Copies of this chain bind each other. A is one copy, B any other.
Amino acid sequence: MSYVAPLKDMLFVMNELAGLNEVNALPGCEDATAETVEAILEEKARFTSEVIATLNWAGDQAPSYWKDGQVFTTKGFKEAFKMFGEAGWQGVQHPAEFGGQGLPKLLATPCIEMLHAANLSFALCPLLTDGAIEALLTAGSDADKATYLENLISGKWTGTMNLTEPQAGSDLAMVRTRAVPQDDGTYKVFGTKIFITYGEHDMAENIVHLVLARTPNAPEGVKGISLFIVPKFMVNADGSLGARNDAHCVSIEHKLGIKASPTCVLQFGDNGGAIGTLVGEENRGLEYMFIMMNAARFGVGMQGVAVAERAYQKAVQYAKDRVQSRDLAGSAGPVSIIHHPDVRRMLMSMRAQIEGSRALAYVAAAMSDKAHHHADAEVRKQNQAAYEFLVPIVKGWSTELSLDVTSTGVQVHGGMGFIEETGAAQHYRDAQILTIYEGTTAIQANDLVGRKTSRDGGAVAKQFIAQVRAVEAELSATGEANLKAIAAQLAIGAKAMEDVVEFVVANFKSDIKAVFSGSVPYLKLAGVVLGGWQMARAALIAQAKLQAGGGDASFNQAKVATARFFADHILSTAQGLRTSIVDGSAGVLALSEEQF
């Protein structure tokens, strides 16, 4: 089996750290009982291992290809996507009203992790479709919802996000695609969009493009962007498919990784105009697109966790199988390389970063559930703010660490890792896009620094730090050696984050370039401190279970040891990051353009 979902760790995180029982108690989340959750995860684990994971290498070797305007996906993808839709997996977190299962994000999150771990390229199609569903749910008219949602949620149709243009990447103010109003209330859309994931493919009957464009006389910049639905095939009043719309894929990219996922150049309106309908109000497109983006950003963060887990499983297997060199402590003959300390260090580094980033993401998902479902408006508001603080960290940190983890995965394989047939290199190649799309790490970091930290004077950040401090105190109070060692690093990390939040808040207005010089290090610091906080909580709980006796002692002992590793090897980078942020802008900003 090339991928086995880490159900034990997923359930531990959901139950012990993210508070599944609290989520289950929320109005509207009553179906998400522990038993239901476990049953769903087990079924998803089976499906992803047996059906989806097996297509991963095939997709790398025989990627999607373009011919005469059509895109043909890797053999097996179409059938697998049909099974995916029919089993209801697209609809886990979407409203029952439109055919979904209406389950909490906390449950959807491990489901999504499994899908990505099994096959990043495949899972991108549902990820983008989720985004389209979210946007229509929030900003679409009743007619839009009636026309599109059921088929998107059932997996009969898929969705896309059309933002980027050749001159407009991170900077959407530069969008030039035009939407010209017609007498019948529709618009004709003209323009070129690039980097459109699953912009064209053969896995669904229709593709619902959500497209950013400007109406005539719209204001300059991001305030003049509107959002349009431009379906591949028009939809008749009775729901049947009508004429082919004037939106065509003219080429797909030849990429470093996620090769099975077609990355399309879409040409709108080359033959008279693509027919689009406005979503919500004119000039509010960016706001709506951010709904998709935020959902997608969290999803890409999960891709980071997922591809890291997949690489870890492969590396562990190789380290157990490959026999080379004697044990350092002395052995008669050569041993499997998992006995060698540095191989262990590499595996623990992978494992610790995966567990830390998974825990932080699931905890964030539970916050999102509370933000949506809690009976108390104040609790909803607090959780929304906390969730929004975590989204750029989940996206940025989980994906950055996936680069390290997948690279380490290659390294564990030695020379075999460099041979494509081994498969370790695919994860490394695939991961590299994660820190780029749906907003680069710098974009996430700027969001964290600006909207999420400076805007409220660091209030939410400080609430998190206070929780870190509380856990640190609990750890220190136990007297257990591992927990005390974790507490020591957590204290250093919390202090570093305090200093940095203070620095950001104090200098944001007066010296914005200095603050943004440290934005990515700040994001990484927040990741290691908050990931370390979750690992520390996990260690406390696991240690208590160990002391209580019974249960899965091996699992709990490993959890404590992994948290200890996280503290000494990952969280221990906090002080250095603090230096880079607080003292580091002089070096960042000193050179003139000519000096480069």
Contacts and interface: CB of A to CB of B under 8 A. Distances in A.
Interface in A575-596: 575-576, 579-580, 583-596
A567 interface: yes
Q: Which of A342, A348, A565, A586 has the most CB of B within 10 A?
A: A342
Q: Which of A329, A352, A403, A441 has the most CB of B within 10 A?
A: A403
Interface string A505-535: 0000000110011111100000000000000
Nearest to A351: B596
Nearest to A573: B576
A231 interface: no
B516 A328 contact: yes
A436 interface: yes
Nearest to A585: B341
A517 to B, nearest CB: 4
B568 A583 contact: yes
Nearest to A416: B169
Contacts of A171: 324-325, 334
Nearest to A435: B411
A373 interface: no
Contact of A576 (B344, B348, B576): B576
A368 interface: no
Interface string A408-435: 0011001101111100010011001101
How many chain copies does the complex carry? 2
A568 B595 contact: no
Q: Which of A195, A518, A561, A569 has the most CB of B within 10 A?
A: A569
B596 A347 contact: yes
A435 B404 CA distance: 13
Interface range for A? 35 or more
A564 interface: yes
A253 B420 CA distance: 8
A240 to B, nearest CB: 37
A236 interface: no
A407 interface: yes
A256 interface: yes
A253 B595 contact: no
A316 interface: yes
A537 to B, nearest CB: 17
A170 B340 CA distance: 12
B512 A414 contact: no
B432 A414 contact: no
A182 interface: no
A24 interface: no
Interface in A442-467: 442, 445-446
Given A442-B343, A519-B342, A554-B594, A348 B425 contact: no
B596 A568 contact: no
A558 interface: yes
Contacts of A429: 256, 429
26 contacts: A164-B415, A170-B324, A173-B334, A174-B324, A256-B425, A256-B429, A320-B596, A328-B513, A338-B593, A338-B596, A341-B513, A341-B516, A342-B519, A345-B588, A403-B407, A410-B432, A425-B432, A554-B592, A557-B595, A568-B579, A568-B580, A569-B584, A572-B576, A574-B576, A575-B576, A576-B576
8 A-B pairs with the lowest CB-CB distances in the bound complex, closest first: A565-B587, A561-B590, A342-B442, A572-B579, A568-B584, A171-B325, A341-B516, A256-B425
Interface of A: 164, 167, 169-171, 173-174, 195, 253-257, 316, 319-320, 323-325, 328-329, 334, 336, 338-345, 347-348, 351-352, 403, 407, 410-411, 414-415, 417-421, 425, 428-429, 432-433, 435-437, 440-442, 445-446, 482, 485, 489, 512-513, 516-521, 554, 557-558, 561-562, 564-569, 572-576, 579-580, 583-596
